[in-house]
Structure 1
Amino acid sequence: MAALTVGTALAGLPASAAGLPKGHDVSSHQKNVDWSRARARGARFVYVKATESTTYRNPYFTRQYNGARHAGIIRGAYHFALPDRSSGRAQAAYFVRHGGRWRADGRTLPPALDIEYNPYSSRHRCYGLSKAGMVRWIRSFSDEVKRRTGRRPVIYTTARWWNTCTGRSRAFAHDHALWLAGRRPSGPGALPAGWKYWTFWQYGSKGGLPGDEDLFNGSRAQLKRFARGH
């Protein structure tokens, strides 16, 4: 995606970016979402958790994913990475088979990779991989998603995790959109190495939408073009 520069102007509270399209992300924790209500409250896009590793599928995924579309919300699917469980290629294949597909209909966001601290072991934040090993894992995942869907995945991460676990790799910023995790009232904060702007920003979790709150770094027309792959 071509660089969107409006994020550099987002310096204050999320409320100061009221003109940016608002969205959210959900998982099985949100269960049966009232999508019409979410749209009425301003949701224009959503990412829905589909899979984790090669063993977990969100049991609410289909109804959440289809429900968002029926309500007129642009939706996409995301995968929670566990790089210590299996290869990037294997997890990408599992993800695409179980919800991570994409089509250029203007209503489907590209697949997303959620890669962050290990929630199952505080001692292995980088999943036991070396920095070079983590970069190879992410590249393997991305290549398989691209092969199967035609799109590179959006990468959801934090600056601290990325810089720690990939050794400040700049290998992905030129062709992977960034979904920045950074719940700060003062703005998005530092970006992972290589990226000069964010495409999505997860800025909070206590707003009026189910799940976590997100912004898209552009106009609604740009959001639709991004979904189409232009």
Structure 2
Amino acid sequence: MVKSLLFLSLLPAVLAAPFEPRQLDGPKGIDVSNFQGSDINWSSVAANGISFVFIKATEGTTFLDPDFSVNYEGATNAGLIRGGYHFAHPDSSSGADQANYFLAHGGGWSADGITLPGMLDIEYNPDGAECYGLSASGMVSWIEDFSNTYESHTGRYPIIYTTTDWWTTCTGNSAAFADNNPLFIARYASTIGTIPAGWPFATFWQYADSGPNPGDQDVFNGDATGLSKIAKGS
């Protein structure tokens, strides 16, 4: 597809090689939700060297993060590149329904240079079966439904946040998304480890669940110019 080829043509200029052990010299970021509350001092976060943030917006089709708007506004006013994320519940409704819910409640994207594509947080089920009762092929279809719906409204494919263990178990280690969807891998260790099939590298790495700034601690695999290009969609 044209968008896929365009995105791939940008990758060498935008992103660095795969993460080396504890390579944390790229732009730093965090991700937050209502667990961190609405009283985050975003000016201090920016002063501490944070360049970007993902903020929880929605979950399934029934939950709106009560602190999304105030945190999104605070991050914007502090000059951070920011985007929303959606926690998936593939057992409760279709991928399209959840993408539309996310888009309607803060998950959109615009080429303003400060908005990251929405992130699909798809990982361990907090309330039941690890794979939400879906087969590997069923899970791949659900993610495709979400991803394609999001792209049809924004012109951008969502970032996929996951762990290698969950992805291998619940999608059969599908390589179907590597051409379009940037990968955000979660692994709290000194190295990023093996990443899912198809992706030659991760675009973002969540390397710790706590640190000097609120929320989870993240890093972008590239430089500030590359991060800006991800936001601009150029």
Q: Name the TM-score, length of structure 2 as normaliser.
A: 0.92
Kindly report which structure 2 residues correspond to 1:143-158, keeping only aligned pairs within 5 A, or say none.
Answer: 143-158=148-163
Task: Determine if contact 1:26/1:211 at 8 Å carries over to the other structure.
Answer: yes
Quote the Cα distance in structure 1 between the aligned partners of 2:24 and 2:36. Answer: 26
TM-aligned CA deviation for residue 206 of structure 1: 2.1
The question of 1:28 aligning with 2:16 is answered no
Q: Residue 201 of structure 1 corresponds to which residue in structure 2? A: 205
* Alignment correspondent of 2:182: 177
Aligned to 1:74: 81
Question: How far, CA to CA, are the matches of 1:160 and 1:174 in structure 2?
Answer: 20
Cα distance 1:129–1:120, how it changes in 2: closer, same or farther (>3 A)? same
Partner of 1:133: 138
Q: Could you report, residue by residue, the CA deviation over 1:117-170 in whole angstroms, capped at 9, with x for unpaired residues?
A: 10111xx10000011100000000001111111110000001111111111111
Provide runs of 4+ in structure 1 moved above 6 Å: none
Code of the residue aligned with 2:171 in structure 1: it is T
Q: Could you say which residue in structure 2 is the equivalent of 1:223?
A: 227
The 8 Å contact of residues 28 and 50 in structure 2, kept in 1 or not, is answered as: yes
Q: What is the alpha-carbon distance in structure 2 between the residues aligned to residue 10 and residue 106 of structure 1?
A: 28
* Pairwise CA distance, 1:191: 0.2
CA–CA distance in structure 2, aligned partners of residues 169 and 36 of structure 1: 40
The offset of 1:193, in angstroms, is 1.3
Q: What's the CA shift string for 1:163-206, capped at 9, x where partnerless?
A: 11111111100111000011112x10110111110100000022
- Between the aligned partners of 1:7 and 1:35, the Cα distance in structure 2 is 30
| RMSD of equivalent CA atoms | 1.1
Q: Output the amino acid matched with 2:146.
A: F
Q: SS at 2:82's partner residue?
A: strand
The one-letter amino acid paired with 1:210 is: P
Q: Distance in 1 between matches of 2:85 and 2:19?
A: 28
Q: Which residue is 2:4 aligned to?
A: none
Which runs of 5 or more residues in structure 1 are unaligned? Answer: none
Whole-angstrom CA distance in 2 between matches of 1:171 and 1:86? 21
User: What displacement does 1:207 show?
Assistant: 1.2
Partner of 1:189: 193
Partner SS state of residue 167, structure 2:
helix
Q: Matched residues in 2 for 1:86 and 1:60: separation?
A: 24
Equivalences for residues 37-76 of structure 1 within 5 A: 37-76=44-83
Q: How does 1:86-97 map to 2 (within 5 A)?
A: 86-97=93-104
**Maintained 8 Å contact 1:159/1:193:** no
Identity among equivalent positions (%) equals: 50
Distance 2:72 2:17 in 1: 27
Task: Indicate if the aligned counterparts of 2:28 and 2:220 stay in contact, CA closer than 8 A.
Answer: yes
Aligned twin of 2:167: 162
